[in-house]
Amino acid sequence: MNTPDEIFAEAKQLIESAQHPAAAEELRIRYLGKKGEVTALLKSMGQLGPEERRAYGMQVNKLKQDVEALLEEKKNALAQAGQSVRLAAEKIDVTEPGRCHAPGVRHIITITIDEISAIFMNLGYSVTEGPEVETVFNNFDALNAAPSHPSRDMTDTFYITENTLLRTQTSPVQVRTLLTHEPPIKVISPGRCFRADTPDATHSPMFHQVEGLLVDEGVTMGDLKGTLDLFAKRMFGANVRTKFRPHFFPFTEPSAEMDMSCFACGGADPSCRLCRGSGWIEILGCGMVHPNVLKVGGLDTDRYTGFAFGMGVERTAMLKHGIDDIRLFYENDVRFLGQFL
């Protein structure tokens, strides 16, 4: 067994050469652990006489204290060196330019819905919404659609059960509003709709509409025309003109489609991508609410009349921003979406 002096000399050399905290810990166990060399010296004192044991014990205890001091000093030195290495690695050059992160933008569909909604809210309309999974009654029956109407076919409509479907328009919100509100009623209802269309440049199985409904005493077709003419001017420009063509919708009578004058060429360019030289662009459908629809809400049709209108959000955005393919709205190409701030 080595003497205390020999153990100290060896321990000092090994501890001073330790390069990592793990190596220093191994040396602590080697010398001061339960089976360590210093511990073994302490255990061997039982073989000595009283006087010799006292002197030897003092020597071994001093050895233990000296080794502990060496280990503590080495531990602190290694910790300080490790901190210096970390600080050097984590050093930040505050003069280096920062990285620019592009902010997110609202989707063009959201922007267009907000623009449309803001125009009508400034006219006193409130915004109301309804579920996308609707009943056949709200989507067809209450809107005066005959049982033989082609829009009821499975080739046009996504049915979930015999009596539930994905709404094909936002018009069911009209029915829900008439069933829960008393006139005067003045609401718009933006939302998603679904039809069994094959995707192409102008069709999508999912799209967005904004529906409008006004019901009160003395409402006329003139009120409808004035409202929509004002909308067109605020949405597309003060110089836009409008005209109304007779049409047919089951839930309005009379019904019309509204065209607006081409804001791109004014009808002067035969190759115009918007009007193709006609000077007019179809923008939305509208009409006076059919009495059968008003009766669903329990309204007196001799007292109350109303008008309704509906427009495609994608179509409105495509016209306003010169977008030629509806699929661009849903392909999530950030190069396209980032253009609309």
**Span 72-104, pLDDT tens digits:** 887 888 778 777 777 777 777 788 887 888 777
Structural domain includes residue 51: yes
- Nearest CA to 135 out of 165, 161, 178, 105 is that of 165
pTM exceeds 0.75, yes or no: no
Pair (117, 264) in one structural domain:
yes
Domains held by the chain: number? 2
More confident residue, 16 or 249: 249
Based on its alpha-carbon atoms, the radius of gyration of the chain, rounded to whole angstroms, reads 42
Residue 257 near residue 266 (C-beta atoms within 8 A): no
The reply to whether 21 and 142 lie within a common domain is no
Task: Give me the pLDDT at residue 35, please.
Answer: 74
What are 190's strand-pairing partners?
210
- Compute the average pLDDT of residues 331-336: 88
Q: What is the CATH number of the domain that holds 178?
A: 3.30.930.10
Question: Per the domain annotation, does 69 fall within a domain?
Answer: yes
Residue 100 falls within a domain, yes or no? Answer: no
Residue 310 within any structural domain of the chain? yes
Report the mean per-residue pLDDT for the chain. 87
- Summarised one tens digit per residue, pLDDT across range 17-46 is 777 778 777 877 777 777 777 777 777 776
Could you tell me the CA-to-CA distances from 114 to 107, 119, 234, 308, 321 in Å, in that order?
11, 9, 13, 19, 15
Residue 223 sits in the same domain as residue 314: yes
Confidence of residue 111 (pLDDT cuts 50, 70, 90): very high
Give me the percent of the chain exceeding a pLDDT of 90.
52
pLDDT band for 269, please (50, 70, 90 cuts).
Answer: confident
Domain of 38 in residue numbering reads as 4-89
pLDDT value of position 185: 96
For residue 97, tell me if it sits in a domain: no
Assess if residue 196 is contained within a domain: yes
Alpha helices (runs of H) in the chain, residue ranges in sequence order = 4-17, 21-32, 37-44, 50-89, 108-121, 136-139, 172-180, 221-236, 291-296, 313-321, 334-337
pLDDT digits (tens, 9 = 90+) for 153-194: 988 999 999 999 999 999 999 999 999 999 999 999 999 999
- Answer yes or no: is pLDDT of 250 > 90: yes
Contacts of 211 (CB under 8 A, 6+ apart): 169, 170, 171, 173, 174, 188, 189, 190, 308, 309, 310
| Structural domain includes residue 189 | yes
Q: Identify whether residues 200 and 290 lie together within a single domain.
A: yes
Pairing of strands 185-194, 164-166: unpaired
User: In terms of domains, do 65 and 155 share one?
Assistant: no
